[in-house]
Amino acid sequence: MYKKMLFLIVLIFVSCTSSGNDKAERSATSERARERITVTVDTARIAPLERFVRTGGAAAARRLLSVSLEQSGYIRQIPETEGLSVGPGELLLVLDNEKQKLEALGARTALIKALVAFGVEYENPDSALALLKKAQGREAAPLDVRDMTQVLKGGRQSEVRMAQSGLAEAWNNYRRALLAYRRTVFKAPFPGLLADIAYKKGQWLPAATEALKLLDLSEIRLHCDVLEKEAPLITAGQSAEVVFPSLPQKTFRARVFAVNPAVDPESHTVRVTLSIANPGVLIRPGMYARARIAVKTLPKRLVVPRRALVLRDNRELVFVVRDSLAQWCYVQTGARNDRLVEIVSSEFNLRPGEPVVVEGHFSLAHNARVNPRAVFRVK
């Protein structure tokens, strides 16, 4: 009897304890259900979807000129400071050319004498000058049989008189001397900056040897390679954005300057050249850059940020927030870029303006209660 009473007391105690634990667990579960998970959301919306081609390359000067001379000699004048800005027509390189200068002056004097003599003997000086200008514009070519026949028959009298008087010879001698003098002088053909100065005043400069470089950095050319399958999407004039890792705080606007029609048979790529304005000379030749070329715009697409996509069981879905519940919404996607993705269709009829979770969604369950923290709008 005593044992039965003891058993009943223990059984009642265990039942009460178990009942209390169940109530506590149900209470905790209910409390967790009432908790809201804070998430960041953006909205699905109708917007144009830009498609891009990504590439990269090294910067180059708009124009690069290797300064050298056809004639060798001792350097009489050369800049000493790299980075110096020069204008068109400024002297960049001069050899010791006193001999060539004197020969050019002597040939000029002889030409003046021949002009005067020709004008006195045959025609007025104005006619002689007109003949010289005509001869200057005429390409040098050997006399053929027809030309010789015309001369022998009394034709081409102006040329005959110039030859007989010595004017033609004086003119050719002057041009030859002037050419020899100009081969000792180099003037800047365009404004730019000096770079890679390799010689100093007084040094011997061999013919056809680079003494320095002249760079036009008012614009930069960015030479990039794109895959041959992407090349048909790119045409001259398209806009692009360029970022240099060495200038991380700045994004440069660019345009497609040229597209090489040939494909590299080894890499199966096509060279595309971008043009970038460089007013502050922030960009220097050789700097590497990443580029994004806008190749196509799809108008009026239902899009969401790519950050909203989640992959579950090899299917893409987004969490759409409805009545403070994050609901799984399987989607079929279309075109995309690095920021946005097109929603072609959706399981729960995703509509423009509905919030979708872009942060804090990887551990969410279906119908989890959420607290949208803020709208993070992708520009």
CATH number at residue 287: 2.40.30.170
Residue type, 212: L
Residue 375 is predicted with a pLDDT of 61
- Is 8 part of a structural domain of the chain? no
CATH number at residue 317: 2.40.420.20
- DSSP code at position 263: P
- Is 19 part of a structural domain of the chain? no
Do residue 43 and residue 104 come from a single domain?
no
Helix 125-137 × helix 98-121 angle, to 10° = 130
Do residue 326 and residue 266 come from a single domain?
no
pLDDT at 279 over 70: yes
pLDDT confidence bin for 135, thresholds 50/70/90: low
Task: Please report which helix (H) or strand (E) contains residue 257, including its range.
Answer: strand 251-259
Residue 377 Cα distances to 121, 256, 350, angstroms: 89, 29, 18
- Is 202 part of a structural domain of the chain? no
- Is 175 part of a structural domain of the chain? yes
| Range of lowest pLDDT (129-133, 267-271, 309-313) | 129-133
User: Domain end: 272, 298, 324, which one?
Assistant: 298
Domain count, the chain: 3
Do residue 321 and residue 261 come from a single domain?
no
- Is 191 part of a structural domain of the chain? no
Strand, coil or helix: 88: coil
Is beta strand 239-243 parallel, antiparallel or unpaired with respect to 288-305?
antiparallel
- Is 272 part of a structural domain of the chain? yes
User: Domain end: 298, 333, 360, which one?
Assistant: 298
The residues that bridge with 237 in the sheet, in sequence order, are: none
Full residue range of the structural domain in which residue 369 is found: 37-49+299-375
CB neighbour class for 43 (10 Å; exposed up to 12, middle 13-18, buried from 19): middle
Q: What percent of the chain has pLDDT over 70?
A: 78
Residue 105 Cα distances to 69, 102, 133, 140, 335, angstroms: 21, 5, 20, 24, 73
Residue 127 is predicted with a pLDDT of 65
Supply the mean pLDDT for the chain. Answer: 85
Do residue 273 and residue 305 come from a single domain?
no
- Is 67 part of a structural domain of the chain? no
Q: Considering only CA atoms, which of 212, 124, 112 is closest in space to residue 167?
A: 112
**Mean pLDDT to the nearest integer, 241-254:** 95
pLDDT confidence bin for 323, thresholds 50/70/90: very high
Write phi, then psi, for 89 (nearest 5 degrees). Answer: 90, -10
Give yes or no for a contact between 336 and 287, defined as CB atoms under 8 angstroms apart. Answer: no
Hey, how many other C-beta atoms are within 10 angstroms of the C-beta on 147? 14
Which of 124-128, 326-330, 334-338 reaches the highest mean pLDDT? 326-330
- Is 194 part of a structural domain of the chain? no
- The tokens 């949208």 sit on which residue? 372
Residue 208 is predicted with a pLDDT of 95
Do residue 271 and residue 319 come from a single domain?
no
